[in-house]
Amino acid sequence: MTDVTLREVARASGCSVATVSRVLAGTRPVGAETARRVREAAEELGYRPNQVARALRSRSTGTIGLVLPQITNPFFPSLVREVEHALHAEGRAVLLADCDDDPEVEAARIADLLDRQVDALLVIAADGKRSRDAVEKAAAHVPLVLLDRGCGPGVADSVATDNATGMALVLDHLVTTGRRRICFVGAAGTGSAAVERLAAYEAEAGALLPHGSGRVELGDFSLEWGRTAVDRILPSRPDAIVCANDLLAIGVLQRLRQLGVDVPGDVAVTGFDDIPMMDLADPALTTVRQPVRALAAEAVHLLGHRLAGRNDGPRRSVRLAPELVVRASSAPRAPSALRASSAPRGASSAPSALRAPSVSSAEDTGSTRTPEVEQ
C-alpha cells in the first residue's frame, strides 16, 4: 500500500513529472495524446496527489479553519453543517476548533490553525471584547471572516443576522396581536447578540408601546436565568416576555408553567435563533429564525473574494434579515377569555384550568425542520 507518486506515474506514462503535474492539475495546455497516456497511467496505478506536498509548494492547503465557541451550543451545528458543505463544494476542507467559550483557548487555537497554514479563517467569536486581539492579529495573516458574532467594528469582514430586524419583527407581531406590557429577558455580556438584541428591544418597544419599553432583566444566555428572570418580572404584570434567545425562552416557559401562568393566554413568550426542537416546546415557541444557510454561503463567498483578490480593500459587514416564525407561544388571546392578568402563584400549583387547548398540534408539530436522524 505504499503510496504512488508523480514520479512513478511519469515513468509509467513515459514523460516527465512536470508534464504529469500539468495534466493532473490542468495548469497548462498539454498534448492530447500525452494527456491521455498520463491519465491512464495515473488511473492504473491508483495515483492520488499528495496534498501536503502540493500545499508546501503552491502555498495553499485548500484548508479553512473554523473556530467556534462551543459546538454544543444548539445553534451552531446547523451553521457548521452549512459552512462545511459550502466549503466542500469549493474543494476545501474544514479544520475545526472548539474553544470551550474561552477567548484564551480561542487565541491558542487560532495560532495553531495558522501554523497549520490554513488558507483562511472563519471565526465565530467567543467574546465581544476579549476575542478582538487574536482575531485582529490573525486577520493580518490570512483572510478572516467573522461569522454570526462580531468582536468590535472594523476588525474583519463579518456576516451576521440582523438582530435589529429580528427584534422589530417580534415586537411588531406582539403589538399587532394586542400585547402592551412587553418585558425583555436577555444577557448582560458583551457578546454582539446580547448587546444588539437588547438595544433593538429598547428602541422598538420605546417607539411602539404606549408606556415605553417594559422591564428588562439581564443575566446570561442560560435556561436557568430564564427561570429566575420570570420571578423578577412577573410582579410587573407583563402580557408578553421577549427573550434574547431560545434557551432563555425555554427557561421562561418552564417557570411560567410551574407557576400556573397560562401561555399564551396570560403571557406571550418569544425566543430568538430557532434552535432545533423549538417547535416541540409546549407551547411551541414563537421565535426568530436565523438564515443559517445564507449566513454560511455569504461568509464563504466573502472568503472566496479575499482569497481570489489580494486580501485588501475595505472591510465588509453583511447583515442578513431573519424570519419570524410564529407558533403557539404567542397566539392571540381569545377575545372571550379576558381574565385577570394575575396568575395563581406557587411552585406546586396545578396547571391552569384556563389553559387553552394547545394550538400547536398537527400544523406546528409537523414542521419539517425537526432533524430526522438515522442512527
Partner DNA sequence: TTGAAAGCGCTAACAT
Partner DNA sequence: ATGTTAGCGCTTTCAA
Interface map 246-285 toward a copy of itself (x if CB under 8 A): -x--x---x--xx--------------x--xx--x-x---
Q: 16 vs 358, which CB is nearer to DNA? A: 16
The least distance separating a copy of itself from the CB of residue 359, rounded to whole angstroms, comes to: 11
Q: Is 109 in the site for a copy of itself (CB under 8 A)?
A: yes
User: 12, 22, 99, 215: which one contacts DNA (CB under 7 A)?
Assistant: 22
Q: Which of the listed partners (DNA, a copy of itself, none) does 15 bind, with a CB threshold of 5 to 8 Å by partner kind?
A: DNA
351 vs 304: CA distance, rounded Å? 54
Q: What is the signed CA dihedral for 252, 224, 205, 216, rounded to 10 degrees?
A: 120
Q: 13 vs 245, which CB is nearer to a copy of itself? A: 245
Interface map 258-287 toward DNA (x if CB under 7 A): ------------------------------
User: 11, 49, 254, 354: which one contacts DNA (CB under 7 A)?
Assistant: 49
Interface map 124-153 toward a copy of itself (x if CB under 8 A): --xx------------xx------xx----
Q: Does residue 309 contact residue 292 with C-beta atoms inside 8 Å? A: no
User: 94, 175, 229, 249: which one contacts a copy of itself (CB under 8 A)?
Assistant: 94
Q: Does residue 233 contact residue 262 with C-beta atoms inside 8 Å? A: no
The least distance separating DNA from the CB of residue 11, rounded to whole angstroms, comes to: 11
Q: 137 vs 237, which CB is nearer to a copy of itself? A: 137
Q: Is 116 in the site for DNA (CB under 7 A)?
A: no
Q: Does residue 323 contact residue 107 with C-beta atoms inside 8 Å? A: no
Q: Which of the listed partners (a copy of itself, DNA, none) does 317 bind, with a CB threshold of 5 to 8 Å by partner kind?
A: none
The least distance separating DNA from the CB of residue 23, rounded to whole angstroms, comes to: 8
Q: Is 291 in the site for a copy of itself (CB under 8 A)?
A: no
Read off φ and ψ for residue 52, nearest 5 degrees: -70, -45
Q: Is 34 in the site for DNA (CB under 7 A)?
A: yes
Read off φ and ψ for residue 318, nearest 5 degrees: -110, 130
Q: 151 vs 175, which CB is nearer to a copy of itself? A: 151
Q: Is 29 in the site for DNA (CB under 7 A)?
A: yes
Q: Is 19 in the site for DNA (CB under 7 A)?
A: yes
Site for a copy of itself in 332-351 (CB under 8 A): 347-348, 350-351
Q: Which of the listed partners (a copy of itself, DNA, none) does 131 bind, with a CB threshold of 5 to 8 Å by partner kind?
A: none
User: 38, 84, 119, 122: which one contacts a copy of itself (CB under 8 A)?
Assistant: 84
The least distance separating DNA from the CB of residue 24, rounded to whole angstroms, comes to: 6
Site for a copy of itself in 173-202 (CB under 8 A): 187, 189, 191, 193-194
Q: Is 95 in the site for a copy of itself (CB under 8 A)?
A: yes
Q: Is 291 in the site for DNA (CB under 7 A)?
A: no
Write out the chain in H/E/C secondary structure: CCCCCHHHHHHHHCCCHHHHHHHHHCCCCCCHHHHHHHHHHHHHHCCCCCHHHHHHHHCCCCEEEEEECCCCCCCHHHHHHHHHHHHHHCCCEEEEEECCCCHHHHHHHHHHHHHCCCCEEEECCCCCCCCHHHHHHHHHHCCEEEECCCCCCCCCEEEEECHHHHHHHHHHHHHHCCCCCEEEEEECCCCHHHHHHHHHHHHHHHHHCCCCCCCEEEECCCHHHHHHHHHHHHHHCCCEEEECCHHHHHHHHHHHHHCCCCCCCCCEEECCECCCCHHHCCCCCEEEECCHHHHHHHHHHHHHHHHHCCCCCCCCEEEECCEEECCHHHCCCCHHHCCCCCCCCCCCCCCCCCCCCCCCHHHHHCCCCCCCCCC
Q: Does residue 42 contact residue 24 with C-beta atoms inside 8 Å? A: yes
Q: 27 vs 50, which CB is nearer to a copy of itself? A: 50
> Which residues lie near DNA (CB under 7 A)?
3, 5-7, 14-19, 21-22, 24-25, 27-31, 33-35, 47, 49-50, 53-54, 56-59
